[in-house]
Amino acid sequence: MDENDMIDEEEYEFSRNYFLAKESGKSVKKSSAHKVSELNLADEQELRAEVSNIEPRHEKEIALLINSYKKLYNEWVFELRYGFGILMYGFGSKKTLIEDFASTALTEYNVIVVNGYLQSINLKQVATAMAEVLWDQLKMQLRSASGGTSRDQQPFNSRSMDDLIAFLDEPHKTENECLVCLVIHNIDGPGLRDSDTQHLLARIAACSHVRIVASIDHVNAPLLWDKKMVHVQFNWCWHHVPTFAPYKIEGVFHPLILAHGGTSQSVKTASIVLQSLTPNAQSVFKVLAEHQLAHPDEEGTCLTFSVFKIHHVLGDIWYD
């Protein structure tokens, strides 16, 4: 049949391209043995400064392109409302677009943003925050409906993940629909890429009080999900929204390809890593740094704490 022929042809085309690429790869490899070190490379510090100062181009066109998606906002809200998850893909950072959508069109929902491009994300904390905002809204509605005080709730941060998901999924009798919209930038990002996290996200997305808006950038992102996740839990509605906007924040954690080995990690990267840590871990580092500054002469300048000393210094935080 016609369609089969087309598929065959596509497959043929693909394999042909692949082998051609392999072939030319060999020839190039033979002829071109240039090394990166032969280039007159700027030093890493200068390169980083230049990267952050790259003159933006096509700014007007990009802004127009992003603005042109505004007319789709209604459609997206409608799809969200009726149980679809919105999945945006296409080249360019979609961060601005999604956040603009969330803050203009989703004002009736609680919106929580997850930055999936960061290295480590604690989903338990995200779920706790979701449960908290939902509870706040429910409490307010119950209070306005009954005029009395609402029942007490066990603090969410001491609850298990299963409990949190059950809370987000349980039917609450309220006058209006209470929804928490979870916006996930780069659901295929490094911090969320593993299978367990994706399954957990899918379970959260399937809750009756949760709606999900996410973006992917990786061409193979769909491989993260099985049929249950795609059709039942996330229930994705795909939207191709290329923006061509630079991946500023998304690209911060990637080493520069022309930088020498990345031996001198800049303060910027360190500070970013530090900021992405949990508050508790941040304060551990803070105490360590303060201790080191307060005792500059002690045991040289390196962080050569003994285990005993760490216990001593951090005792307050750990045993709080």
Site for another protein in 158-197 (CB under 8 A): 159-160, 162-163, 166, 175-179, 183, 191, 196
Q: Compute the least distance from the CB of residue 207 to another protein, in Å.
A: 15
CB 209 within 8 A of CB 169: yes
Binding residues among 100-119 for another protein as defined by CB under 8 A: 102-105, 107-115, 118
Q: What share of the chain is helix, strand, coil (3-state, %, to 5)?
A: 55, 10, 35
Three-class DSSP category at 140: helix
Residue from the set 28, 289, 303, 317 that interacts with another protein by CB under 8 A:
28
Which single residue is written with the structure tokens 């999604």? 98
Residues 6+ apart with CB under 8 A from 53: none
Instruction: State the distance between the two ends of the chain, measured CA to CA, in whole angstroms.
Output: 71
Residue closer to another protein, measured from CB, 54 or 307: 54
Q: Compute the least distance from the CB of residue 154 to another protein, in Å.
A: 8
290 counts as binding another protein under rule CB under 8 A: no
Degrees, nearest 5: CA angle 9-12-14: 110
66 counts as binding another protein under rule CB under 8 A: no
CA distances from residue 45 to 112, 255, 259, 260, 263 in whole angstroms, order as listed: 35, 12, 9, 10, 11
Q: How far apart are CA 119 and CA 246, in angstroms?
A: 19
CB 87 within 8 A of CB 225: no
User: Which part of the chain contacts another protein (CB under 8 A), choosing from 53-61, 285-293, 294-302, 304-312?
Assistant: 53-61
225 counts as binding another protein under rule CB under 8 A: no
311 counts as binding another protein under rule CB under 8 A: no
284 counts as binding another protein under rule CB under 8 A: no
Residue closer to another protein, measured from CB, 268 or 309: 268
135 counts as binding another protein under rule CB under 8 A: no
Residue from the set 51, 289, 303, 317 that interacts with another protein by CB under 8 A:
51
